[in-house]
């Protein structure tokens, strides 16, 4: 320590030499009473500088920086470790306090349709399957509708509007409203793919004599080429149509009546029998075989029936849409959904409609004979209209008056000269009923072996 002498010889305040620290080969002066910026350092920095100053082990500054970095890393690791312990403790506490969730039970399997129950392993026609991207196939039972497609009634037109692939010819748009969404399954000819507890059964119907004429012409080739016709429509051979159209002199519906139904007809007794079976719907035709009687007997005994009439397609569609809770006039005057046209009619080579007129021609005598043979089918037609929940009494009467224009006696009759055909064997073979069923001729219903379901209340499907 140095002392400075005053002028009078007395000792002055000791002079403290500045502290010096050696870093490697360099010497740095450290002073705590230096300039103003140095005094502004934090206490942490001052403490660190004091520590470095008084270290006896004189090492390079890189060593001390490494020590500081290691301490920093250790602090970071320790902080993360403590945080992990805290999170684990919270999770453990939550696990002890919260009840463990039970796994969801597996979804029940989809119900097997009646068709697959009665005919396991049989492939269903592709027109039964609706596009799952457009239509939901899992509709609740209180809304599900079975579409009963009776041939030659504009059924394909209605079926396409409902979403079924029935000769739709490129129609891809979705019909608006609820009816296409809740009509999930189809009953057509010998393929009943509906459930017996469906809420409604939707029929499409037409004047019976007009339907029969259309069915007769459908079975015949338009150009007379039976070879190509049967190759294109292989199912015609199974329906024995050639035995009616080729083996017998029935090249038109008028000839079938004049020769086959008249007692004085110039044909064999076998051909007369075949003509009668065709009109009654027991054999020798495709659409005539699957007639109103078959489809009505094919649905459950207490089924709720809704009906669309070919001559009133839009009005009846709208009434059903309103019945199930939809918009009352979903199809307006300019609708393009139900534009029905006969897709199987072919004009002659000159392009006129002479051939079409000839195909539908019936003399008054021929018409009367067909009407008499068609009497039971007309009565079944009347019953379908009468039990339809969407048709009023006035609408039923309107349709029967249309029949009366063609078959006046049968339209007003309550009974027929011939008994209702017994189609028990056809129902067993094609519909899938049990072998112990019995047809009640008086009531036109299956009385044994037929599923009887409770009558659904009169509320509309749209009600909650």
pLDDT per residue as tens digits for the range 171-193:
678 889 999 999 999 999 888 99
Cα–Cα distance for residue pair 462/145, rounded to 1 Å: 13
Tell me whether residue 120 is in a domain. Answer: no
Judge if 140 and 88 occupy the same domain: no
Count of domains forming the chain: 3
Cα–Cα distance for residue pair 108/96, rounded to 1 Å: 33
Judge if 305 and 405 occupy the same domain: yes
With 80 as the cut, is the pLDDT of residue 352 above it? no
Judge if 139 and 278 occupy the same domain: yes
Judge if 92 and 235 occupy the same domain: no
Question: What pLDDT score does 364 carry?
Answer: 96
Judge if 181 and 39 occupy the same domain: no
Judge if 29 and 79 occupy the same domain: no
Judge if 131 and 266 occupy the same domain: yes
Judge if 50 and 133 occupy the same domain: no
40 HSE (CA, 13 A, CB side): 3
Judge if 40 and 187 occupy the same domain: no
Q: Domain boundary residue among 7, 32, 58? A: 58
Q: Are strands 145-149 and 200-205 parallel, antiparallel or unpaired?
A: parallel
Judge if 43 and 75 occupy the same domain: no
Cα–Cα distance for residue pair 245/256, rounded to 1 Å: 9
Residue 215 makes CB contacts below 8 A (sequence gap 6+) with: 151, 152, 285, 286, 287, 288
Tell me whether residue 89 is in a domain. Answer: yes
Tell me whether residue 222 is in a domain. Answer: yes
| Residue pLDDT, tens place only, 192-250 | 999 889 999 999 999 999 999 999 999 888 777 888 877 777 777 667 888 898 899 99
Cα–Cα distance for residue pair 160/180, rounded to 1 Å: 9
With 90 as the cut, is the pLDDT of residue 62 above it? no
Tell me whether residue 88 is in a domain. Answer: yes
Distance between start and end Cα atoms, the chain = 106
| DSSP summary character for residue 352 | -
Tell me whether residue 453 is in a domain. Answer: no
Judge if 50 and 140 occupy the same domain: no
Question: What pLDDT score does 100 carry?
Answer: 55
The domain of 54 spans: 19-58
């Amino acid at each position: 320590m140095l002392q400075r002498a005053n002028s009078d010889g007395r000792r002055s305040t000791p002079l403290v030499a500045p502290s010096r620290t050696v870093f490697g080969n360099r010497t740095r002066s450290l002073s705590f009473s230096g300039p103003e910026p140095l005094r502004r350092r934090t206490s942490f920095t001052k403490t660190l500088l004091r520590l470095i100053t008084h270290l006896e082990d004189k090492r390079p500054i890189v060593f001390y920086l490494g020590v500081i970095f290691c301490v920093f890393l250790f602090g970071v690791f320790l902080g993360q470790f403590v945080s992990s312990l805290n999170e684990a403790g919270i999770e453990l506490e939550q696990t002890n306090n919260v009840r463990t969730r039970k796994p969801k039970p597996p979804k029940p399997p989809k119900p097997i349709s009646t068709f697959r129950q009665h005919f396991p392993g049989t492939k269903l026609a592709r027109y039964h399957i609706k596009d799952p991207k457009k239509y939901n196939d899992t509709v609740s039972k209180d809304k599900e509708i079975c579409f009963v497609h009776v041939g030659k009634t504009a059924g394909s037109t209605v079926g396409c509007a409902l979403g079924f692939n029935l000769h739709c010819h490129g129609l891809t748009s979705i019909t608006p409203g609820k009816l296409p969404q809740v009509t999930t399954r189809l009953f057509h000819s010998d393929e009943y793919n509906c459930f017996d507890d469906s809420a409604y059964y939707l029929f499409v119907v037409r004047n019976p004599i007009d339907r029969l004429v259309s069915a007769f012409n459908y079975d015949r080739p338009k150009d007379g080429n039976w070879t190509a016709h049967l190759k294109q429509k292989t199912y015609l051979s199974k329906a024995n149509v050639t035995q009616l159209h080729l083996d017998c002199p029935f090249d038109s519906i008028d000839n079938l009546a004049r020769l086959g139904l008249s007692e004085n007809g110039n044909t064999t007794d076998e051909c007369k029998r075949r003509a009668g079976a065709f009109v009654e719907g027991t054999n020798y035709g495709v659409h005539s075989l699957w007639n109103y009687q078959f489809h009505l007997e094919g649905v459950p005994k207490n089924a709720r029936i809704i009906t669309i009439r070919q001559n009133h397609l839009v009005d009846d569609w709208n009434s059903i849409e309103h019945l199930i809770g939809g918009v009352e006039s979903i199809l307006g005057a300019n609708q393009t959904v139900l534009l029905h046209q006969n897709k199987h009619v072919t004009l002659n080579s000159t392009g006129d409609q002479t051939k079409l007129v000839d195909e539908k021609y019936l003399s008054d005598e021929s018409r009367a004979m067909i009407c008499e043979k068609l009497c039971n089918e007309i009565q079944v037609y009347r019953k379908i209209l009468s039990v339809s929940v969407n048709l009023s009494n006035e609408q039923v009467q309107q349709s029967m008056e249309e029949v009366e224009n063609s078959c006046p006696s049968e339209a007003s009759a309550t009974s027929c000269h011939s008994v209702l055909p017994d189609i028990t064997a056809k129902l067993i073979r094609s519909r899938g009923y049990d072998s112990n069923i019995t047809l009640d001729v008086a009531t036109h219903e299956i009385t044994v072996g037929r599923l009887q379901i409770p009558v659904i209340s009169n509320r509309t499907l749209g009600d909650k």
